[in-house]
Amino acid sequence: MEMENYYWIGLKAVPGVGNVAFRRLLERFDTPEAALKASPASLAGIRGMTPATIEAVKSAQWCRFAEEECRRLESSGARLVTYIARDYPKSLFEIPDPPPFLYVKGEIRSRELSVAIVGSRRATSYGLMTTGKLSEELASHGVCVVSGMARGVDTAAHRGALQAGGRSIGVLGCGVDKIYPPENRPLFEEMATKGCLVSEFPLGTLPLAENFPRRNRIISGLSSGVLVVEAAEKSGSLITAQYALEHGRDVYAVPGNISFVTSRGCNRLIKQGAKLVDCVEDILEELPAYDLASVDTPLFQPHPRTFALTPKEAAIYELLARSPLHIDDIISQTELTAGEVSSMLLHLELKGAVTPLPGTHYAVA
């Protein structure tokens, strides 16, 4: 059993320790092990740590789950990628509630130009054909396609990207060891070898309805923009589009037949300002560093500089990933002292992660 995974899983399993509290604990104590072994008085000094949560930490009821989860992890073919790891997707720091770690099958990359494609589980033949075509064309230009591994549009998006020889990321609303829907078993196996499957949910988690809206924020967080292909007026795809807007991502929509229920969500998005897409160039021209003059050749993506983070560095990087800040604002919004913030900013500069701006402001590089 890998002890580092044991303590990461254990801290996350403590009732009352959500994603925000988890990261605050690591800001103060540096490692999950140190946080779990800290004194009640030390824990009480962390914002959000209630007496009940502190009691849950000290009662060590999390130990059994952590032991069992580590055994499941060893046999699952998956691995943990923590938010301080070199290959943790840095774009997730831009969303309000990034998971402290992901369960991953396949290759995940720290930085990758990605577009999400989402839509109806009961897509029409037009929707499936359009999804496959756009996904293949995005992949052929070096863009990774992100979706949720569900029936319909999601499945067509993943298959299109893989058929074009590109990469695709599937974000699950269940454990990465659960194949859902069951008919997608061959696709799951292909994604794990040619792309990536990720989940924030523990192994064995069933695909419950309440999990899917939560996983949608990760689909958005991994992507530069979100394309909706067929969606009813009350659709999970529209939740992903809403997350995209909140995360500062572009939203695209494919227009549909006005007599189809599955077109109403997309057509409404276009009315509200989403970019109408009828060819892949409509997406490509919005992506960073894309030159439409080279539309017939794969998008050139030099390997970006990747870096690991300490928990204190991650706390600062997460703030700056959302917007540039003055050093005083960084100090006030973290659990760190002024000296620690100054030191961490210097370390982040040397890693190429942040850049100084005039007036002692800082931004991500």
Confidence of residue 304 (pLDDT cuts 50, 70, 90): low
- pLDDT band at residue 295, thresholds of 50, 70 and 90? very low
Q: Is 299 part of any domain?
A: no
Cα(198)–Cα(168) distance, rounded to whole angstroms? 11
C-alpha pair distances (Å), 232 with each of 72, 104, 121, 262: 38, 31, 10, 4
Read off the CATH number of the domain in which 14 is found.
1.10.150
Give me the pLDDT at residue 300, please. Answer: 47
Same domain, 166 and 264: yes
Residue 87 included in any domain:
no
Considering only 187-191, 204-208, 234-238, 311-315, which range has the smallest mean pLDDT? 234-238
Task: Note the pLDDT tens digit of each residue in 149-181.
Answer: 999 999 999 999 999 999 999 999 999 999 999
* pLDDT number for residue 299: 52
Q: Same domain, yes or no, for 162 and 199?
A: yes
Tokens found for residue 186: 């061959």
Based on the fold, state whether residues 50 and 148 are members of the same structural domain. Answer: no
Q: Is the domain of 19 the same as that of 155?
A: no
Q: How many separate domains does the chain show?
A: 3
pLDDT in tens, 57-72: 999 889 999 999 999 9
Tens of pLDDT, residue by residue over 99-126, are 999 999 999 999 999 999 999 999 999 9
Q: Mark whether 45 and 128 lie in a shared domain.
A: no
CATH number of the domain at 164, please. Answer: 3.40.50.450
Average pLDDT over residues 1-28: 93
Question: Per the domain annotation, does 357 fall within a domain?
Answer: yes
More confident residue, 234 or 279: 279
DSSP structure class, residue 211: H
In tens, the pLDDT along 79-99 reads 999 999 999 999 999 998 899
Q: Name residues whose C-beta falls within 8 Å of residue 283's C-beta, 6 or more positions apart in sequence.
A: 115, 134, 138, 225, 227, 252, 277
Q: Is residue 83 part of a domain?
A: no
Tell whether omega for the bond before 356 is within 30 degrees of 0, i.e. cis. no
Interatomic CA distance for residues 321 and 96, integer angstroms? 10
Model pTM score = 0.91
> 355 and 233: one domain?
no
What is the full DSSP assignment across 238-262? HHHHHHHHHTT-EEEE----TT-GG
Predicted confidence at residue 239, as pLDDT, reads 92
Q: Does 349 lie in the same domain as 238?
A: no
* pLDDT higher than threshold 70 for residue 293: no
DSSP 8-class letter at 291: -
